[in-house]
Structures are given as C-alpha cells and as structure tokens.
Structure 1
C-alpha cells in the first residue's frame, strides 16, 4: 500500500490553522469549522491515516516518523507558526504535534480529545496479549457481539457505551479501521508530563471543549490529567460526544480570536 497524507487547503488569512478530525470521519466533517474561520486563517484540514484520502501500510506510526512527515509538510507550505484544532482521535495528533513542535504552536483547541484519558478497554486492546484478542474480535463480529452482551450483563460498562460500540463497529470497514487506528497510532500517546510543562513554560493557550453528556471523554478524567495552569481553559457544553463538532463550531472562532497571536 502506498502512503499518502492528504489535506485540503482553504482560506486566505495570514495565520495558519490546522484541523484533525475524529475516528471514522474525514476532513469534510469539519467543514462547519472551516466556513467560520477561513476569512482569518489559511486552513489545512487533514485526513488522518486509514481515513478519507490518506493511506498507509499497516505499520506502527512512531513520533519520530510523524515529526519527519509534519516537518516536511511545514517546509513544503512555508509555514512557521500555526494553531491546532482537533476533535476526538484528532486530539492525539494535535497533542503529539504540539509535543514535537512547541516553538511553532500558537494555540491548541481540543474538542472531546483522545490521547489524554485512556480507558480500561483501550489499554486492554493495545496491550501485548489483548491486541491479539482485539484483532480476533474485529475479524469475528458475531463473537464480538456475544462478548458485548456478556459485558453488559455483568455491568462492566454502561448500556450507552455498548450501544455506541455496536453502532461504530457495525461495518467491516469500521472494525478494520478501529483496529488499525488503535494499534498503529498507539505510539502517538502524548507525554502529558512534558505537555503540561510546555504549557506552563511557554504559556501556550489550550482550550478544552467537553460535553457534560459525553461518556467517551469524561470531564473529571480530563481535568485530573491536565495541569491547572492559567493557560488551560475548559468550556463545558451540555452535549454528547457526536454532537460536539457542530456544538463547538461557533465557539472555536471566538476562542481563536481571543488568542490573537
């Protein structure tokens, strides 16, 4: 399989804004964000690997490789400084990018971000032994559904989480995608101690937009992991996970305007 990292360029502003979408999506899902920011910014709206028009062999994506890929992107587009904004899985890429390019990052806006809090099921799925079982489940959906029913019966997680898993992993394509994303993006786990130190020392504004009804990204778990720096801001909306892209669209431009860097 060839490797391609696709992005769509929009806008005409002097400042640069980079978007990363969530799992099972592509750059088009963030079109509402683009429409409200493209007057002030030049926007680079990415497709993550295994999503949309971006492709990659089934191999680990290391921070070192991502640094090289992103550095080439910056050089090709003559970009010096940039703002980052991301939803869900894209948050893992945004935080890793900040960790690798802190001097170039002006601000970060994260909507229900992945990469800060890792739940039990994710940690199990990416563990050495658990990953083999995870792969088996993704290849055998009938067995996986039986497992979900057992988990629900034993009340190991909420019924809402079970319904979410059943919906997201209904198709073969999505099961393959979640296995690839969880397995091969695993090394892009942000080093939160380093990130918190960078936020404090560089006073990088980081806005976290979270949903009070979001079961995937619990507010208390996020707050417990992030430093209580004056540069970290929380914005809580009465929304579920999937509602936050649209719910945050008018908030994001105003937060970027506050940064004004």
Structure 2
C-alpha cells in the first residue's frame, strides 16, 4: 500500500512540476512525511526532486536563465547548513511556523500588492533568494515558495522561471541530501529499496504526461498554478509547525 501511495504521489508531483515549474516537493513532501516519517520522508523527497529536476531540465534547457541559476544556486549551501543544524538543536515546529508564516506573508504582498512594490532588480535579491531557498529545502523539502516570491517581485517571465527552477531544484536537493546525511540529521538506513524503482517509474510517466498537457496550458494559467502551489506549500509548512506546537 505504501508503494502505491509513493507511485501516485511522485507521479502527481512530476506531472504538476512539468506543467508549472514546481510540484515535486510541494506535493510529495507532506504525503511522504506521513508515510515514511518527517525526516526520512523529506530525505526521500530530496532524492526524487534531484532526479526529477535532472530529467525535466533536459526537456526545457533552452528556456533556462543560466545567469540567475548561477546566482541563486551558488549560495544555497549558506542556508542549508544552518537548517541542518536547527534540525538537531531546535524544536522543528517552531522553525516551521516562522518560515511558513513569513513565506505566506511575502507571497501575499508580492501577489496582491505587486503593482505597489518596486521591481526586485540586481544580484542581491537573487542571492538572498538562494540562501532562503536552501534553508527551506533542507528544513522542509520545499524551496519553491521562496523562489516564487522572488519571481513575483522581479517580474520574471514564467516560461524562463519555470525552466530555471529545474537546475536550481537539482542543486538544492543535492545540497540538502549531502548536508543532512553528513551531519547525521537524516539517513537512508530504514528506507526500503523498492521506493527507488517505483518512484523513478512514476516520475517518468508524470513528466511525459505533463509535457503533453503543457502544450494546452496558457502562460497565465501556468503562473497562477505556480503561485497557488507555492501558497499551498507554505501553508503546509505552517500547519506542520503549528500542529507540532499544540
């Protein structure tokens, strides 16, 4: 039963990510955290995100903004290390509550007050986004909300944003895996080997289905889906934090 859930969850994540640019961590993170446990589940999501991002990057590489990718991904380790430390020394629900609240607030401001805020230009904003994304990805398996805030604030074209997210997710996931495993914050000791072939099969089917569907989805619709997913992901982080405090 658990493997069937893994297949359906990874398929849905890969499908939505090919369609909107994000989805694997947002969809799979909460579900696999319940099925496999909060630490092991997120670690498995990190691996799936790396594999999914690799396959998706191949199909959208022409639209990738490699300059922004370099800026954002180069500093993700700066956010990943303190997140791994926090997992060991601070009550995770407290951090999740703070992170979820801040991301939801930022999304609300950049979405509904977009016409009233200045455009986020320059390298500084991209670097800050990379640090926050690395922190969130290591802590909760979800970097997309922070990146969506930056995309909204910088008026980043959605096609380029969605494509550039893929190599960013690859770097973020790889950093999170290495940091958590090397610091002892998580391990694959109790992960069944069947998760990997089932997950990869679901991923391939999801990407193929998403590629076919993406030809029928308009750019504005894809952007709205991405923002909605980012808000949902931040809400899940906030809920996990509040639930853990009660």
Q: TM-score, normalised by structure 2?
A: 0.29
Structure of larger gyration radius = 1
Which structure features the higher share of helix residues? 2
Higher relative contact order (CA 8 A, sep 6+): 2
